[in-house]
Amino acid sequence: MCYKQVLYMDYSFLNDNKLVPVVVLDSAQDALPVLGALREGGIKVAEITFRTACAREAIALACTNIKDMLVGAGTVINAEQCAQAISAGAKFVVSPGFSAEVAGECKRADVPYLPGVATATEVMAAKACGFDILKFFPAGAMGGVKTLKAIAAAFPDVRFLPTGGVNAENMKEYLALDCVVAVGGSWMVKKDVESTLRLSREATEALK
């Protein structure tokens, strides 16, 4: 099922936040130090992925304790995960592909959903369901900037969040494209807080 006739989602937070860290946590207790370091480094938005079992608890901790950071959920692949993320306080939801049931959960909760696409066919399917802000994933493996430019040329009304293979060296190349609203990546998220803080600062400074 698609939701084109009733779908409206507010993606304006991406206009002022060009970096969306992809955060994978092995323990919920790591959420506050890791996201705190990102925030201190100047990054105001992050997605905590559902690749690990602690995702829901980590999102809840971050949303409760870091009030000036927009925390979302990533790698959400079904309605159950989506409901958990939203109940924990996630302010947006990201998927590696498109899921109609996740779209439905997000619509009901009025939470922005960014489905993933990798081909023109997938962009067309997402557009048919009312989406014009899409995650391009895995960006590097699919050909990077060159492929994204080629796909985007056919869809001038669609904007992309490239993720997967985006790093400090190529983020500006992606962001220079008119079709790119922001970039996602994990290069600034390290095991130790000091490295996360340093890399976050370097990334935000590079964009000024």
Range of the domain at 146: 13-206
Residue 113 lies in a domain: yes
Angstrom distances, CA of residue 187 to CA of 24, 97, 152, 166, 174: 11, 22, 25, 8, 15
Residue 85 lies in a domain: yes
Task: Identify the active-site residue in 18, 47, 91, 105.
Answer: 47
Residue 112 lies in a domain: yes
Residue 5 lies in a domain: no
Residue 6 lies in a domain: no
Residue 116 lies in a domain: yes
Q: Is 149 tagged catalytic?
A: no
Question: The domain spanning residue 27 has which CATH number?
Answer: 3.20.20.70
Task: Per-residue pLDDT tens, the chain, 208 aa: give them.
Answer: 555 543 567 899 999 999 999 999 999 999 999 999 999 999 999 999 999 999 999 999 999 999 999 999 999 999 999 999 999 999 999 999 999 999 999 999 999 999 999 999 999 999 999 999 999 999 999 999 999 999 999 999 999 999 999 999 999 999 999 999 999 999 999 989 999 999 999 999 999 8
Residue 39 lies in a domain: yes
Q: Is 47 tagged catalytic?
A: yes
Number of domains in the chain: 1
Task: Identify the active-site residue in 18, 91, 105, 135.
Answer: 135
| Count of beta carbons in the 10 Å neighbourhood of residue 143 | 14
Closest CA to 106 of 96, 91, 126: 91
Residue 3 lies in a domain: no
